Amino acid sequence: MKMAYKKVIFFAVIVCYFGISGLVLAGLAVHWKTSKASPEQPVKYSHNLHVNTVGLGCTDCHIYTDKSVHAGLPALEICMDCHSSVAIEKPEIRKLLKYSELKEQVPWRRVYQLPDFVYFSHKRHVKKGVDCSECHGEIKAMDTARKIGSLEMGWCVNCHRKMGAPTDCVTCHK
């Protein structure tokens, strides 16, 4: 009787221990995933503000989207068109002025990145009328970009199948 009682306690302790470490691990996994989905950026830039309030379009800053394989992250010169005079007293804009003074680019951290062995082209998709949001989500509601979607092969191929685009291997693996 006494032994059985001890056993229950023992198992309760084991369950608690693994339960708690399970929770901690799950928490760490979620943290890792979200921090990868939305890396800390060197400047607190906001898409929401610049698209919805200032009224800029996506291609005003990502100028290569319909011309090249890459969409391109904006060169500092584009920001300085406005921020050499707009909000120059704000600490985040002071950072931009500092980069500009040092003739450096802002070291933005990449959010979306395919492995090297995959071929992808923005121009092909954008020219066909596939909207940015189909692949990147509602960027205009975000501050810095947050990764939506997996960029896994199945994701690409599913949409290709749905839209009648090619699905043979050499389309994406040259």
Instruction: Please give the residues from 32 up to 91 whose contact with ligand HEC meets the rule CB under 6 A.
Output: 41, 43-45, 47, 49-51, 54, 56, 58-62, 65, 70-74, 78-79, 81-83, 86-87, 90
Output 31 or 161, the one with its CB closest to ligand HEC.
161
Tell me the closest approach of the beta carbon of residue 62 to ligand HEC, in angstroms: 4
Q: Phi and psi for 41 in degrees, rounded to 5?
A: -100, 155
- Return the range that interacts with ligand HEC (CB under 6 A); candidates 14-22, 29-37, 97-105, 166-174: 166-174
* Smallest separation (angstroms) from ligand HEC to the CB of 66: 7
Q: From CA 19, how far away is CA 2, in angstroms rounded?
A: 25
Q: Which is nearer to ligand HEC, 9 or 85 (CB)?
A: 85
In sequence order, the 6+-apart residues with CB closer than 8 A to the CB of 51 are 57, 58, 139, 140
Beta strand segments in 29-90, E: none
Cβ atoms of residues 168 and 76 within 8 Å: no
Residues near 58 by beta carbon (within 8 Å), at least 6 away in sequence: 51, 65, 132, 139
Least separation in angstroms between residue 102's CB and ligand HEC is 15
Q: How many CB atoms lie under 10 A from the CB of residue 121?
A: 12
**According to the binding rule CB under 6 A, does residue 99 interact with ligand HEC?**
no
Within 103-142, which residues bind ligand HEC (CB under 6 A)?
108, 110-115, 118-122, 124-126, 128, 130, 132, 134-136, 139-140
Cβ distance 109 to 36 under 8 Å? Answer: no
Minimum distance from residue 7 beta carbon to ligand HEC (Å): 45
CA-CA distances (angstroms) from residue 136 to 87, 139, 147, 169? 29, 7, 7, 24
Could you tell me which stretch among 1-9, 13-21, 22-30, 146-154 binds ligand HEC (CB under 6 A)? 146-154
